[in-house]
Structure 1
Amino acid sequence: MVEKLELIPLKDISPNPYQPRLEFNQEELDELAKSIKENGLIQPIIVRPSSIFGYELIAGERRLRASERAGLELIPAVIKDISNRESMQQAIVENLQRSNLNPIEEAKAYQQLLDKNQMTHEELAIYMGKSRPYITNSLRLLNLPTFLIRSIENGSLSQGHARLLLTIPDEEKQNYWFQRISNENLSVRQLEKLLKEKPKIKSKSKKINIFIKDKESELSKAFGLPVTISQKKDGQGQLVFHFSDDEDFNRIINKLK
């Protein structure tokens, strides 16, 4: 593999289509940009020559974005002459070896490797230095409904809770338990214990609860965000949309319009 270190123009670098990281913390990018402005970029990014123009990023998107914010025109880069497959593998593996990928980004990265390389879970586990059950359990998170996947991505649902919700085949019941996790701040151990118990539903409120939970589920799917409905005996109540950032908030406002 031929490689060399050069200073190249930022404007000549295009993104990596195989980048597994989907979200970047804006405050952390600002902090890194400030550091780069004061001290320069210590660790170079990795690129390869593009067949269209300039270079294609292989690894270091966070450093590239922060360098753009810092106002750099040139950036130190290791230039490698590698194939599409090697570029994808290197981008994914570099990100997976970092500790701050969220569980969904990690699972999607594993799925990319499986799809592109026709690997088995066992082969991928050996390749990544993980156990086969770890890989399988990670990939199973992608089978969750969209609103639960979004909750894992934004940190409002832990991976431990999500794995327990995977044992529930009914999406409506998954939503019911998700609301309880959010409202009662249930730990993973508490949730596990509750799921093993036989459900006790009071006959008086059964119809109301089923209707409310059904509407919560419908709204959660429509907005892609957790929704909670609470109603008193006299008919008064609250409809609450749970959001974690400005993007979620704006999506709610736009849909309501």
Structure 2
Amino acid sequence: MLSISPTLSFSGYATQQYYFVGLACTNHFLVVGMGNDHYICHATLLPTHSLSAEPPAWGWFFTSTLCGFLISVVVNVLVFSVPFCASNRINHFFCDISPVIKLGCTDTNQKEMVIFFLSILVLLVPFVLIFISYVFIVSTILKISSVEGQHKAFATCASHLTVVIVHYGCASFIYLRPTSLYSSDKDRLVAVTYTVITPLLNPLVYTLRNKAGKTSLRKVLSRYLFAKTLRMS
């Protein structure tokens, strides 16, 4: 994206799509794990403890990564086994699935159907599981005796749920539909939302709203400014 040249090699496109799909799938599975383990409201609902010390968290992380990149391998094989004979111009700002499949010169219905079912597995199933987890989270919040505690918990969960809905909604609009309905201009605009905007909101939702996260950030910035002042003097 930062290159002056607008061209990308075939292997470069395949590599970029592999990592994009793999990391995207991993992200979707990790969000499910966070919701089910009540990490969303960890600061307000659960006793303070080290998340990094929990074996289930690391187990889910490695499982999500493995599943995400296995799905990416399947998608890459399906997409790049298509014979291409049309234009080599891709009207998109990154290597996505639909833009390259449209360049194929053979019937891709079966491949698109497999990708569609994989999209359901990656998008729809996690979203349903997250929704179920929020039912339990809300029931837990309602058990808090303090009204202030309830408001704080609901505020934390509401911000995360908003990002989840926007992210999964936009991604579902792109991947849970036939390739024949692909619209380059509209899809590029929607793609910006789930590839740029919602990831940028993640630090705000997961860390900066957390009191401990704010304290850690202040310490890091203080050390950096102090060290910079010493070098200048």
TM-score, scaled to structure 1? 0.24
Structure number with the higher helix fraction is 2
Larger Rg: 1
Structure number with the higher strand fraction is 1
Name the structure, 1 or 2, with higher relative contact order (CA <8 Å, separation 6+): 2
TM-score, scaled to structure 2? 0.26
